[in-house]
Amino acid sequence: MKLGIMSFAHMHAYSYADVIKKLPGAELVGIADENQDRGRQVADYLDTRYYPTYEDLLKSEIDGVIITAANRDHRELTEMAAAAGKDILCEKPIATTLEDAKAMEKITREAGVKFQMAFPCRYIPAVQRLKTQYESGSLGRILAIRGTNHGRMPGGFFIDPQAAGGGAVIDHTVHLVDLVRWVFQTEFREVYCEMDRRFHDIPTEDCGLLTLELTNGAFMTLDPSWSKPDCFYTWGDLYMQVVGTEMVTEVDMMRQSLERISPEAPNYRWEFWGANSDYYLVKEFVDSFREQREPSISALDGIRALEVAVGAYESARTGQPVKLR
């Protein structure tokens, strides 16, 4: 599958590009970026071609694109790629508004191109093990879920309310919402949210707390804050504690690691050795093209995750719970 990358505004683009260069059956044909200096530097670094416009990239011999632009631009780039007949892997969140998200689903469906959301956390082995346990009945009926998705403050377009659609809440809510929907085959019924700016002098919120009701009868709390310092040894964390009638289980998705503590300097080292979830995300995109089937993570998955984030902002604005279903 010949691929192009549309924008390097989102840091995940670098990881996806690295995966493409390692993945059998995939080829990085070139990149386009609205920031020409950044685009040329990245193209040199990746030893690939830089296209000065998105239109030029879409006219090249590619089968699909990965969209890693600012959230606000996802709809426009999706429309361009769909019109050119290119399959699409789109970074999360799907868009900044539900209107744009639903338009993207309609545009790609009518154009007959594949559309896959970038929810790589589904490919973390601990998450897949949790799904297997739930489906086997080991957990029993789910009563409650406590989730966190803490991270460093990323800067860039992420702290521009218009370009990102918000701050930490929209950035970090969608990952765990997607995992809960996927693992437990449930939807979100109601959200109550409080958010604030406590850690950084930025235009957006950097912390929040969501209380959620699920259609399966369980409730959930979620802390999606940018509360990790720049010196933290990972970009953040992704954690769930699940209380079932038969079992309580904890999933720490960043702890696929080896910790080394010794008298020698440096006396502490954290070495990640776990599965590369971005690899399996891009592999699914390539496999769906090769096998001529729909990707397993759809535009609807992106819409459902965004619904919760949009509801959270409405709740924070009004001070009231917001019904989703």
DSSP one-letter code for 191: E
Model confidence pTM above 0.85: yes
Q: Which of 274, 256, 244 is nearest to 146 (CA)?
A: 244
Distance CA 77, CA 54 (A): 8
First to last CA, the chain: 39
Q: Which of 150, 144, 212 is nearest to 175 (CA)?
A: 150
Q: Which of 255, 257, 228 is nearest to 239 (CA)?
A: 255
DSSP string across 44-90: HHHT-EEESSHHHHHHSS-SEEEE-S-GGGHHHHHHHHHHTT-EEEE
Taking phi first (over 0 means left), then psi (-120 to 50 degrees means alpha), and beta for anything else, what does residue 165 get? Answer: left
DSSP one-letter code for 294: -
Q: What pLDDT is stored for residue 263 in this prediction?
A: 80
Q: What pLDDT is stored for residue 266 in this prediction?
A: 66
Q: Which residues of 43-76 are buried (b: 16+ CB within 10 A; e: fewer)?
A: beebebebbeebeebbeeebbbbbbbbbbbbbbe
% helix, strand, coil for the chain, step of 5: 40, 25, 35
Contact status, residue 252 vs residue 237, Cβ threshold 8 Å:
yes
Q: What pLDDT is stored for residue 310 in this prediction?
A: 98
Q: What pLDDT is stored for residue 147 in this prediction?
A: 98
Element counts in the chain: helices (H) and strands (E): 10, 15
Per-residue pLDDT of the chain (325 residues; tens, 9 = 90+): 999 999 999 999 999 999 999 999 999 999 999 999 999 999 999 999 999 999 999 999 999 999 999 999 999 999 999 999 999 999 999 999 999 999 999 999 999 999 999 999 999 999 999 999 999 999 999 999 999 999 999 999 999 999 999 999 999 999 999 999 999 999 999 999 999 999 999 999 999 999 999 999 999 999 999 999 988 888 889 999 999 999 999 999 888 777 777 787 766 777 777 889 999 999 999 999 999 999 999 999 999 999 999 999 999 999 999 999 8
Helix (H, G, I), strand (E, B) or coil at 200: coil
Q: What pLDDT is stored for residue 260 in this prediction?
A: 76
Q: What pLDDT is stored for residue 19 in this prediction?
A: 97
Q: What pLDDT is stored for residue 29 in this prediction?
A: 98
Helix (H, G, I), strand (E, B) or coil at 288: helix
Domains of the chain by start residue, with CATH: 2-113 (3.40.50.720), 121-275+305-323 (3.30.360.10)
